[in-house]
Amino acid sequence: MGNTVGRQFRISDFQKEFLVGCLLGDGRLESRSGGKSARLRIHHGEKQKDLIFWKYEIMRNLVSAAPKKILCGKTLHPFKVYYSWYFHTLTLQELGVMYRDFYQENKKILPENIANMLTPIGLAIWLMDDGCYDDRAIILNTQNFSLKEQETLKGVLQRKFGLHAGINKDRSNFRLRIVKEDFPILKRIVSHYVIPSMRYKIVPVTTSHIL
């Protein structure tokens, strides 16, 4: 992972809050040292290009190269090519601390102190990664977390942000659904951080310019 291990790089408070949202969502930490140090990898499809470059700007002081475009798939009938973008940070001891919070035996888990870690910034990142809007709820695709962990997240959303969420089954997994009545509350919390191209996550596409 490079020769940056052991060197000191400052991760700002904003970046730490940002990282919590990434790790609840699509971001992942990679460690080859048993959690002593780690690097963050961000990977999104072509449609989320704006999002990955926005994330890159936030983490730029900890990244050695700009996002790269790669071929991720293609179809023959009809012929179509699919691309995605990724970047990763330097390998840092401070990210190793977060790795130990969010991973157990190389599997992502929910930290015990997530209630203290999750802020409006993190909630906005999480929503842009894993959220989707329908007329009845804003869904957070939390299928990678256990039912017990989702109960914890449900409680955090209610106690810390005043958001009421249900848990519904999605095939063999579960996911969170923020109730329609709380849409205005959620928008007030996250709208400052949601980038224009991702506003469809919290409002209908036809009115996505209104926040």
Give the H/E segment covering residue 40. Answer: strand 39-45
pLDDT reported for residue 1: 45
Residue 26 CA to residue 18 CA, distance in Å, equals 12
pLDDT reported for residue 136: 86
pLDDT reported for residue 2: 46
Q: Give all domains of the chain, ordered by start, each with its CATH number.
A: 1-104 (3.10.28.10), 110-205 (3.10.28.10)
pLDDT band with cut points at 50, 70 and 90 for residue 8: low
Average pLDDT, integer, range 163-190: 93
Residue 201 CA to residue 124 CA, distance in Å, equals 10
pLDDT band with cut points at 50, 70 and 90 for residue 204: low
SS3 state at 176: strand
- Tell me the percentage of the chain whose pLDDT exceeds 90: 80
pLDDT in tens, 107-153: 999 999 999 999 999 999 999 999 998 888 999 999 999 999 999 99
Q: What are phi and psi of 118, to 5 degrees?
A: -85, 125
- Do you find a cis peptide bond into 78, omega within 30 degrees of 0? yes
pLDDT in tens, 60-107: 999 999 999 999 888 777 888 889 999 999 999 999 999 999 999 999
> Burial level of 54, CB count in 10 A (0-12/13-18/19+)?
middle
SS3 state at 33: coil
Question: Would the pTM of this model clear 0.85, i.e. be above it?
Answer: yes
> Burial level of 132, CB count in 10 A (0-12/13-18/19+)?
middle
For 54-116, list the strands marked E by DSSP. Answer: 68-76, 79-88, 103-104, 107-108
Nearest to 24 by CA among 156, 122, 113, 146: 122
Q: Looking at per-residue confidence, does 78 or 16 come out higher? A: 16
pLDDT at 19 > cutoff 80 = yes
Nearest to 100 by CA among 112, 84, 83: 112
The whole-chain average pLDDT of the chain stands at: 91
Q: Looking at per-residue confidence, does 207 or 13 come out higher? A: 13
